Amino acid sequence: MQELKTNPLRNIVASIIVFVIIPIVLYIGIAFLGDRKFYFISVTIALLACVPFFISLEQKRTQTREILLIAVMSALSVAGRLLFYLVAAFKPVAAITIISGIYLGAEAGFLTGALSALVSNIYFGQGPWTPFQMFMWGIIGFIAGLLAKTGIMEKKTALILYGVFAGILFSFGMDVWGVMSLTGIFTWEAYTAALVTAIPFTITYAVSNVIFLLLLAKPIGEKLERIKKKYGLME
């Protein structure tokens, strides 16, 4: 299992952006902008997620087809969310984002998740929750891509466990936004109450991730591998 073209600089920049800069942007949005500038924050996150690819373009490493693959995966994710809109918390977004991270690389995984939230919310409704959804789905794809480099994600057991972890991570992360948006500050008491209230949704997130990963990982993964080999999208 190989990933899209990468280099040490790109990996370092991507990690700093995902784990440091974007969380700072989210914090500034809540603490100082009062969520009023969520469109600006969303676009900022999307642009930051593109920086590693701008680096590769500058170094003439990224091909247009690689960007197209990410766009296709994002479109599949959006379509899947729309298809299952009647079933609360049961969506293939995280699964498709994870698959993107595994087969296309960590940066592609983050960008797929972030774009999926931004674009799909055109239909579901944009709001101050959008930047948090972008970050949570994005980081799920990013971590999946990092784990894929170790080879562990090729095992079905690891895939199932990560699907469960992704469901919990997304729910826990969105509850942070929920608490801060309601109270203006983060308190462990309010956060604990939110986690308890969200248990049914968290379980549904986790179960849906596992189901969609088991159904989609192999067929989509095989197609991505064939496309990458056919067009020479890896080193």
Model confidence at 206: pLDDT above 90: yes
Distance between CA atoms of residues 136 and 139, nearest Å: 5
pLDDT one-digit tens code per residue, 158-177: 999 999 999 999 999 999 88
pLDDT one-digit tens code per residue, 59-74: 555 567 788 899 999 9
In a domain, residue 2? The reply is no
Instruction: Answer yes or no: are the C-beta atoms of 227 and 69 closer than 8 Å.
Output: yes
In a domain, residue 42? The reply is yes
| Number of separate domains in the chain | 1
* Structural domain harbouring 75: 8-231
Instruction: Answer yes or no: are the C-beta atoms of 29 and 38 closer than 8 Å.
Output: yes
HEC string of 138-204? HHHHHHHHHHHCCCHHHCHHHHHHHHHHHHHHHHHHHHHHHHHHHHCCCCHHHHHHHHHHCHHHHHH
Residue where the block lists tokens 């709001």:
127
Residue where the block lists tokens 């799920």:
140
- For position 3, what pLDDT does the model report? 44
**CATH value at residue 218:** 1.10.1760.20
Average pLDDT, the chain: 87
In a domain, residue 159? The reply is yes
- For position 145, what pLDDT does the model report? 94
Q: What share of the chain is helix, strand, coil (3-state, %, to 5)?
A: 80, 0, 20
